[in-house]
């Protein structure tokens, strides 16, 4: 069984943690966007002036964040340090690659993958594009043809549309704190994948292969406010279904800290991300198989326009 198929694919549902009716006019997601979500994070509220008489609790930032109809854009800059696990076949030779994050730090040609995400739309509906590039190389791997050095250049571009399907108020807060909320988005689109593989054998001719393809993907992501400034996000998707690869999936979980940068809403993110691909093409000496999981920690900075 392939690594990517054997790994359980679980979309974590946070909806079971919450209850109550949907808020009348605002959901989880006004302000700066999480680096890994397609929702807008509501910025922390400014303290309210002391009230002269008792009155209803006010959500002070509701009128300053994006509404259902206002359009905004969020841009995330992400560093990803992936480990790699799986099998690669090219030129009739299969090479197993097992490298932890520590191994990658010690052996890989480059440690960090570059990742960026742009989301444009309203709170309820929008579109996104996210690109990832990484270049990993490892020496002295065993294969049926003897020791081999492996170089792999990889690029992934996710794109699609998102829609908010659920919003809940977790706590009403007080005049100095906005309500904590939960939001759930679903999305659909595609994933473009490019792979360039080089096998450098000690005792036989080198082998190089380049492949690219596009897969359909569907997924969901949820965000829950822990405090005014801290937010937890989680989600994932599946795809492929034989259209490009046999199967593809991704999963991500993050902890986001929201703040103001001058007059701009911003967020810092720490988390963990994984992408799995099971792709095969050709047969015999021309067979190419990429059955690999990339996974590792991420750090990100996000701003909203």
Is pLDDT at 166 greater than 80 in this prediction? yes
- Mean pLDDT (whole number) for 30-39: 50
| Structural domains of the chain, ranges and CATH numbers in brackets | 3-8+27-45+74-272+287-299 (2.40.128)
pLDDT at 111: 65
Is pLDDT at 305 greater than 70 in this prediction? yes
Is pLDDT at 57 greater than 50 in this prediction? no
Bridge partner residues of 220 (DSSP): 186, 236
pLDDT at 169: 87
pLDDT at 62: 29
Taking the model in full, what pTM does it have? 0.76
- Mean pLDDT (whole number) for 121-143: 86
pLDDT at 106: 65
- Spatial contact of 197 and 88, defined as CB atoms under 8 Å apart: yes
The mean-pLDDT minimum among 8-22, 134-148, 268-282 falls in 8-22
Residue 206 CA neighbour count, 13 Å, CB half = 9
- Mean pLDDT (whole number) for 82-103: 83
Express as a percent the part of the chain with pLDDT over 70: 70
Task: Report d(CA 244, CA 16) in Å as an integer.
Answer: 35
Task: Report d(CA 146, CA 142) in Å as an integer.
Answer: 6
- Spatial contact of 137 and 108, defined as CB atoms under 8 Å apart: yes
- For residue range 189-208, list pLDDT tens digits in order: 999 999 998 888 777 777 88
Question: In the predicted model, what is the mean pLDDT of the chain?
Answer: 78
Q: What is the CB neighbour count within 10 angstroms for residue 165?
A: 12
pLDDT at 68: 59
Beta pairing, strands 93-99 & 247-261: unpaired
Task: Report d(CA 87, CA 4) in Å as an integer.
Answer: 10
């Amino acid at each position: 069984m392939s690594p990517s198929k054997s790994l359980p694919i679980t979309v974590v549902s946070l909806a079971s943690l919450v209850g109550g009716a949907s808020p009348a006019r605002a959901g989880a997601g006004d302000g700066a966007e999480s680096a890994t979500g397609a929702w807008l994070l509501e910025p922390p509220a400014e303290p309210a002036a002391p009230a002269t008489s008792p009155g209803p609790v006010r959500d002070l930032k509701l009128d300053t964040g994006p509404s259902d109809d206002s359009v905004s854009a969020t841009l995330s800059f992400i560093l990803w340090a992936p480990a790699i696990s799986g099998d690669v076949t090219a030129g009739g030779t299969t090479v197993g690659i097992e490298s932890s994050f520590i191994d990658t730090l010690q052996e890989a040609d480059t440690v960090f993958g570059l990742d960026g995400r742009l989301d444009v739309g309203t709170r309820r509906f929008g579109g996104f594009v996210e690109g990832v590039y990484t270049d990993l190389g490892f020496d002295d791997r065993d294969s049926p043809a003897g020791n081999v050095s492996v170089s792999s250049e990889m690029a992934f571009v996710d794109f699609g549309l998102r829609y908010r399907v659920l919003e809940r108020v977790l706590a009403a807060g007080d005049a100095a704190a906005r309500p904590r909320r939960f939001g759930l988005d679903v999305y659909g689109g595609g994933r473009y994948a490019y792979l360039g593989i080089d096998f450098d054998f000690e005792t036989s001719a080198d082998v190089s292969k380049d492949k690219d393809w596009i897969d359909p993907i569907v997924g969901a992501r949820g965000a829950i406010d822990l405090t005014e400034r801290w937010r937890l996000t989680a989600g994932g998707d599946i795809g492929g279904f034989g259209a490009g690869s046999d199967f593809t999936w991704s999963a991500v979980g993050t902890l986001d800290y929201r703040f103001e940068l001058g007059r701009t809403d911003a967020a810092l993110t720490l988390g963990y991300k994984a992408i799995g691909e099971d792709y095969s093409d050709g047969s015999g000496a021309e067979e190419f198989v990429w059955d690999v999981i990339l996974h590792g920690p991420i750090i990100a900075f996000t701003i909203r326009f």
